[in-house]
Amino acid sequence: MTGYAATAPAAPRGSCRDVPILKERGQREVFCGLTGIIWLHRKMQDAFFLVVGSRTCAHLLQSAAGVMIFAEPRFGTAILEEQDLAGMADAQDELDREVERLLSRRPDIRQLFLVGSCPSEVIKLDLARAAERLSAVYAPEVQVVNFTGSGIETTFTQGEDSCLAALARDLPETDEENLIVVGALPDVVEDQMRGLLHGLGIENVQVLPAARAGDHPTVGPRSRFILTQPFLGETLAALLQRGAKHLSAPFPIGEAGTTARLQVIADEYGVEAARFATITDAPRARARKAVAAAARDLSGRTIFFFPDSQLEIPLARFLTNECGMIPLEIGQPYITKDIIGPDLDLIPTGENGVPTISEGQDVDLQLDRARAARPDITVCGLGLANPLEAEGLTTKWAIELVITPVHFYEQAGDLAALFARPLRRRALIKTMHPNARLEAAE
């Protein structure tokens, strides 16, 4: 393997891979893993997500995915009532009845996910056993799988990890060569990615999750896989356990990240340099041009990431190297160097010990650091954005970066624009209403 350095920026001499990580274990402000159902149910079109939880879980899903109320929904909540929580009813029997009711009403369902929550965890309801039992009853028409989205165990993007890891453990075995692309990408991005890989001559590309139950990948010792999201650590472990080989590379975010990622794949498959250039030169040029237009507003501006989506490190790498921004702190809920190391390699260390790389959160301490640093943009969750806006800081909602298409070449310009927009908006409001206080975040 010749490595990606031929086409991507070389690792700077002082890179963030080796800087000491500030580890914090205090109060955190992040959604729970149930949030992932919002984008997973759109991707898996014959799946139903049955959350075994409380009214709070039902409210979270209904308000977060409110746009779905006009469609036949593919998620729901089996509410645990007080008598379940007190252990006075057999919750397993009730679950069987709910599933029976659901599946007889919805013959289109091929995958049923029993999703654990804080309440089901607190009463130690064994959903793995329930999934096994119900799978035996409804096989082969319906596959029943269990994963957890509980706020005790997961941050919001870890719900997807937990779901894909459960699927990965059950994928059919194969002896054939294949490339598995792991992570729920929007369909338009998945099509672009398939086009690039096809152009490089890489066949038998399969995606996890697939749109339909029967199309999930097969896996075995000749499988290779790439992660498209940095929050898929449990899925990585499950696929390694199945004998597949992980192709580690920077994430396909921005022009350089996408090129670096494709180069690692091309090297693994022995793709000629000329063919690589033929396939990537034009989209690279388009991406650079689109990024440059948005980067005019970003260059020289400072940015501070609160830990939220797990995308923070690849985003910081993109904004630093391709948009000229200055990261002050890059917080991420968990840092797994096997996954995120190649991106850390490409973030240069600056002056005065910046950026700080932090893992986990102690929200009050981190708020103090953000207030002292006064960054031009603060990337954070919804709960922190409005108060910070009211204090005069410009914010970007982290969740938007997960539900908006941001991967690969054609999205690079839009991604940069997502960060430029709140700056322009604040500047505009300041011009029009010099004394106005901003109450709502972008």
**Is 174 buried (19+), middle (13-18) or exposed (0-12) by CB count in 10 A?**
middle
Quick check: 396 and 369 in contact, CB under 8 A?
A: no
Task: Please confirm whether the linkage preceding 140 is cis (ω < 30° from 0).
Answer: yes
One-letter amino acid at 304 equals: F
CA distance 159 to 235: 11
Place of tokens 């106005």: 436
Q: Toward ligand SF4, which CB reaches closer, 121 or 414?
A: 121
Q: Toward ligand SF4, which CB reaches closer, 150 or 280?
A: 150
Contacts of 199 (CB under 8 A, 6+ apart): 275, 278, 279
Q: Which residues bind ligand SF4 (CB under 6 A)?
A: 32, 34, 53-54, 56-57, 60, 117-118, 149-151
Least distance in Å: CB of 31 to ligand SF4?
A: 8
Q: Toward ligand SF4, which CB reaches closer, 35 or 320?
A: 35
Least distance in Å: CB of 88 to ligand SF4?
A: 20
Least distance in Å: CB of 363 to ligand SF4?
A: 16
Q: Toward ligand SF4, which CB reaches closer, 117 or 356?
A: 117
Alpha helices, DSSP H only, in 380-411?
Answer: 382-390, 400-403
Least distance in Å: CB of 61 to ligand SF4?
A: 8
Beta strand pairing call for 111-116 and 47-53: parallel
Least distance in Å: CB of 58 to ligand SF4?
A: 8
Quick check: 358 and 335 in contact, CB under 8 A?
A: no
Least distance in Å: CB of 116 to ligand SF4?
A: 8
Strand ranges of the sheet holding 223-227, from the earlier edge strand across to the other edge: 205-208, 178-182, 223-227, 245-246
Q: What angle do CA 297, 335, 165 make, to 5 degrees?
A: 110
Least distance in Å: CB of 308 to ligand SF4?
A: 15
User: 357: which strand partners?
Assistant: 330
CA distance 10 to 268: 19
Backbone angles phi, psi at 377, to 5 degrees: -135, 140
Question: What element of type H or E holds 421?
Answer: helix 412-432
408: left (phi over 0), alpha (psi -120 to 50) or beta: left
Backbone angles phi, psi at 206, to 5 degrees: -125, 150
Least distance in Å: CB of 409 to ligand SF4?
A: 36
Q: Toward ligand SF4, which CB reaches closer, 86 or 432?
A: 86
| Tokens matching residue 64 | 């977060």
Least distance in Å: CB of 208 to ligand SF4?
A: 24
CA distance 51 to 57: 8
Place of tokens 């319906």: 142
Least distance in Å: CB of 274 to ligand SF4?
A: 51
Least distance in Å: CB of 27 to ligand SF4?
A: 14
Residue showing the smallest CB distance to ligand SF4 in the complex: 151
Q: Toward ligand SF4, which CB reaches closer, 111 or 162?
A: 162
Contacts of 195 (CB under 8 A, 6+ apart): none
CA distance 187 to 198: 16
